[in-house]
Amino acid sequence: MHPGQAPGSHCCVQNVTNLLWTSRPARQHTARMNETFSTTPITGKAGQGRRISVAPMMALTDRHCRYFLRQISRSCLLYTEMLATTALLHGDRERLLAYSPQEHPLALQLGGSDPDELAACARLAADYGYDEVNLNLGCPSSRVQQGGIGACLMKQPSRVASCLQAMQDAVSVPVTVKIRLGVSGRSSQQELVDFVGCLANAGCQTFVVHARIAILEGLSPQENRSVPPLEYERVYQLKRSFPELEIILNGGVTDLDQAETHLREVDGVMLGRAAYYTPWVLSGVDERFFGQPHQPDRHQVLESMVSYANAYIASRDTHRLSHISRHMLGLFNGIAGARLFRRYLSERAHSRQATAELLLQAGELSRAGSTQSYMSVSQ
């Protein structure tokens, strides 16, 4: 049995096809109730579902990325990319909301500012079996701001409170928020406390806090992840101001030792790009933070992806292995053979003829760890 495979199940294309490509709410709900992949509940209390989570990241945390990360950690909470309410209500919601039951526990992040639209999307999330709905109040991109959503909403606490009330009235699953320490022109600690207090009065109990302010003009989203300084102490202060709330710290955390240090002060830690570009950082999460024995092996993770990838490739002519493998390039980062693994997949996975066995070939190449081996496999 591969790591991450439900007890009593068999790793085969047929099972993957039956479970992974269902998307309609009733079938999704049934699959979720029957599968036993993760035993970690999403309760809104520290030390359980949100103790360690992986951040929503645009163009990165799609369903393939999440399925891959789930092979490494069974327990950490995973988030979708942010979905705008307009896209969800007027676009292809089957494609946007579909996911694999093995991804649980799983949260859907929404971007929006209209209470009715957010309530409707929250209902969709609940119908599709998501474990949590999160409202994005931290994205500083100019494009997001033009839509009146993201970090700019931190200047409108009353409006956000109305949105949260509407979402909470619509669903029974937890409704949470992801915020910054503030935004340009509204960045003091007192303003942060007032903002959180307003949302808490509206019923919000869980706050994911990126430990930087957002500068809304003159910086790109990438610069907003590095130019404003990290201020962890302000997140700690926020927790001390609201001991009854669940406060999750996000921003700049690169390893589990750092996470453990932060957990002395807050209820949970959210990893971002460290979990994406060096995914093996998650391999110690289950046992260390959730008390769930799980010691995955990198090559077993590759094996567990084969049936999933082949089912995906076979399901539509335009599907390519690279849609999945692009998220896996960092699997061997930090050990011998990592560069050869990345190179082999990057050069071959986009081909129409590429099958999932290419993942195993790349893994064997990384094990051999030499340019000579690479040349022999390439011939």
Q: What CATH number corresponds to the domain at position 334?
A: 1.20.120
CATH number, domain containing residue 102: 3.20.20.70
Evaluate whether residue 121 is within a structural domain: yes
Q: Do residues 338 and 275 both lie within one domain?
A: no
Q: Do residues 250 and 118 both lie within one domain?
A: yes
Report in angstroms the alpha-carbon separations of 278 from 64, 97, 254, 322. 16, 26, 9, 18
Q: Do residues 229 and 316 both lie within one domain?
A: no
Domain end marker among 272, 290, 308: 290
Instruction: Answer yes or no: is pLDDT of 233 > 90.
Output: yes
Full-model pTM: 0.89
Of the CA atoms within 13 Å of residue 309, those in its CB half-sphere come to 26
Instruction: Answer yes or no: is pLDDT of 81 > 60.
Output: yes
Catalytic residue selected from 65, 76, 121, 139: 139
Evaluate whether residue 46 is within a structural domain: yes
Task: Count the Cβ atoms, other than its own, within 10 Å of residue 229.
Answer: 9
Evaluate whether residue 122 is within a structural domain: yes
Q: Do residues 271 and 331 both lie within one domain?
A: no
Helices within 171-243 (DSSP H only): 189-201, 232-241
Helix (H, G, I), strand (E, B) or coil at 54: strand
Task: Count the Cβ atoms, other than its own, within 10 Å of residue 148.
Answer: 14
Would you say 59 and 53 are in contact if contact means Cβ atoms under 8 Å apart? no
Evaluate whether residue 172 is within a structural domain: yes
Q: How many domains does the chain have?
A: 2
Question: Dihedral sign, CA of 346, 357, 275, 123?
Answer: positive
Would you say 199 and 229 are in contact if contact means Cβ atoms under 8 Å apart? no
Evaluate whether residue 318 is within a structural domain: yes
Please enumerate in sequence order all residues whose Cβ is within 8 A of that of 317, keeping only pairs 6 or more positions apart, or say none. Answer: none
Q: Do residues 281 and 302 both lie within one domain?
A: no
Evaluate whether residue 160 is within a structural domain: yes
Q: Do residues 21 and 94 both lie within one domain?
A: yes
Q: Do residues 92 and 170 both lie within one domain?
A: yes
Helix (H, G, I), strand (E, B) or coil at 270: strand
Q: Do residues 259 and 353 both lie within one domain?
A: no
Helices and strands, number each (H, E), in the chain: 18, 8
Q: Do residues 302 and 326 both lie within one domain?
A: yes
Evaluate whether residue 5 is within a structural domain: no
Cα torsion through 157, 132, 67, 4, rounded to 10:
140
- The predicted model gives 121-137 an average pLDDT of 97
Ranking 32-46, 191-205, 216-230, 239-253 by mean pLDDT, the lowest is 32-46
The one-letter amino acid code at 136 reads N
Q: Do residues 139 and 77 both lie within one domain?
A: yes
Ranking 6-10, 115-119, 132-136, 312-316 by mean pLDDT, the lowest is 6-10
Domain end marker among 269, 290, 311: 290
Q: Do residues 181 and 311 both lie within one domain?
A: no
Evaluate whether residue 365 is within a structural domain: yes
Would you say 175 and 135 are in contact if contact means Cβ atoms under 8 Å apart? yes
* Catalytic annotation present for 152: no
Give the phi and the psi of residue 181 in degrees, each rounded to 5.
-70, -15
Q: Do residues 279 and 371 both lie within one domain?
A: no
- The predicted model gives 277-302 an average pLDDT of 95
Domain end marker among 260, 290, 320: 290
Q: What average pLDDT does the chain have?
A: 88
Would you say 80 and 61 are in contact if contact means Cβ atoms under 8 Å apart? yes
Q: Which domain holds residue 195?
A: 13-290
Predicted pLDDT at 57: 98
Predicted pLDDT at 24: 52
